[in-house]
Amino acid sequence: MSEPARPENTRGSLFDPVFGAGEIAPMLSDHAWLTALLDVEVAITRTAERYGRATSDDVAAVAAAAARIARELDPAELGGLAAAGGNPVIPLVKILRDRADAPATAVHVGATSQDVLDSALMLLSRKAGGYVLGQLRAAADAAARLARTHRDTPMVARTLGQQALPTTFGALAAGWLAALDDGAAEVERAVNTLPVQYGGAAGTLAAVHPDGPAFADTLADLLGLARPLVPWHTARTPITRLASALGIATGSVSKAATDIVLMAATELGEVAEDAPGGSSAMPHKRNPVAAITARAAARRVPGLVATALAAADHEFARAAGAWHAEWETLTDLIRLSGGAAHQLSVCLGGLHVNPDALSRNLGLTGGAILAEKVTAALAEHTGGARDIVTAAAAAGTPLDRVPAITEHLGADRVRELLDPTCYLGHAGDLVDRALAHHDLTKGSA
């Protein structure tokens, strides 16, 4: 009977919740692997029945044995057995054959270890990838709500860390939304095309000739995976595509999370998370923990994408290392991406926006961010416009109190020119465009 994993050997349960991976981690656990490997084996026997290579009794026996093994076999025990051959499928097939009341030939029909492991990885990726997608969409929905609510809330746009010109919080959030929608689209595309792997030891489907391609397609259908053009045992684009999509999407997550962390700074105080991390010793602290940990998870993604891409050079018909390097790299990638997206969805979903702080910061330079507009208007009256305005700005004098300006424009006109709400451009239109696209995307999803 299965014993629980010895706690001194396990990892993940301490830090996964911190990085938002509490929900996704079980979809990629050792037990999830075991179940997926068995699901593939059962589907192979089921497919074999369709092509007269196994009986319905065999299917029942193999399915029953697989269910027992999934319940009872400790993944750590399988791991120990896996070391000798370098993958867990070799011992798992032996166990399944031993325990199933069916001939050995009805198990693992025409398959090689890589077929089962790759297909199981695709099953995990489809399920957990679907979760990532859901979290990305939740984050995008939250960004959309923020963009809609604050469509016309003025704030200052900062470039290179410096206050530049007015914009709106809605426009900022619309940028998050567009990037998140893009990222989600990449993940959706990659997840929806994950193919089954089935080619046999040499990738020729020789063991099930003449049923090979049909066998592979049936297997794909049974597992709910895409039908492959040809076996992809050494053509790893399904894996590099998924890894890249997660990298793209997580890049979008990190953009929004970074803005939140900066805007939540004590000095800016423009946003706060709904449940910021506090400190008993420092009651004034409101750490934007969800955004912080989203960033942290996101920072770990690009290196893993590089590993996945660099592992594409599978030599010959099964790579001696590059293949094995993909397994945990991909599950780590999915888990971290899902965690980052989850944390961002939590962060944005409960975000408190402080319009007063936005307004206060927007006014910080006393209109200097719009001085150029005064210069332009003044230039119609005097050739020294730029010098006059620059001198006043440097001296910190409010422009509506500079006689050399007001004699031409009038103080009211100057104040109007300096009014940030009069220079928001298409901020609102851009919000509307991003929202319309988001709604369209959701409709098609």
Contact set for its own copies, span 127-156 (CB under 8 A): none
356 sits near its own copies (criterion: CB under 8 A):
no
Query: Residue 238: is the preceding peptide bond cis (ω within 30°)?
Result: no
Strands 271-272, 352-353: pairing kind = antiparallel
Among 324, 413, 415, 442, binds its own copies (CB under 8 A): 324
Binding-site size for its own copies (CB under 8 A) equals 182
Distance of closest approach, residue 127 Cβ to its own copies, in angstroms = 13
103 sits near its own copies (criterion: CB under 8 A):
no
Nearer to its own copies, 223 or 358 (CB): 358
Query: Residue 210: is the preceding peptide bond cis (ω within 30°)?
Result: yes
Cα–Cα dist 164/28, whole Å: 45
Of 58-66, 347-355, 407-415, 421-429, the segment contacting its own copies by CB under 8 A is 421-429
Of 130-138, 218-226, 320-328, 399-407, the segment contacting its own copies by CB under 8 A is 320-328
44 Cβ contact list (under 8 Å, min separation 6)? 107, 108, 109, 110, 111, 115, 116, 198, 219
DSSP 229: S
For residues 287, 288, 291, 297, the Cα torsion angle rounded to the nearest 10 degrees is: 20
287 sits near its own copies (criterion: CB under 8 A):
yes
Nearer to its own copies, 43 or 89 (CB): 89
Nearer to its own copies, 11 or 56 (CB): 11
Q: Closest Cα to residue 260, out of 154, 431, 142, 423?
A: 142
Distance of closest approach, residue 378 Cβ to its own copies, in angstroms = 14
Among 250, 337, 345, 354, binds its own copies (CB under 8 A): 250
Q: Token digits for 120? A: 């199981």
Give the footprint of its own copies on residues 422-441 (CB under 8 A).
423-427, 429-430, 433-434, 437
Q: Work out whether the CA dihedral 289, 349, 191, 128 comes out positive or negative.
A: positive
33 sits near its own copies (criterion: CB under 8 A):
yes
315 sits near its own copies (criterion: CB under 8 A):
yes
76 sits near its own copies (criterion: CB under 8 A):
yes
Instruction: Give burial (CB, 10 Å; 0-12/13-18/19+) of 251.
Output: middle
The residues assigned a catalytic role are 279, 318
Q: C-alpha 137: how far from its chain's center?
A: 10
Among 101, 364, 384, 397, binds its own copies (CB under 8 A): 364
Phi (first) and psi of residue 286, to 5 degrees: -135, 75
Nearer to its own copies, 52 or 282 (CB): 282
For residues 424, 428, 430, 436, the Cα torsion angle rounded to the nearest 10 degrees is: 180
Q: C-alpha 228: how far from its chain's center?
A: 25
Distance of closest approach, residue 385 Cβ to its own copies, in angstroms = 12
Give the footprint of its own copies on residues 161-220 (CB under 8 A).
161-168, 171-172, 174-176, 178-179, 182-183, 186, 200-210, 212-213
Nearer to its own copies, 142 or 427 (CB): 427
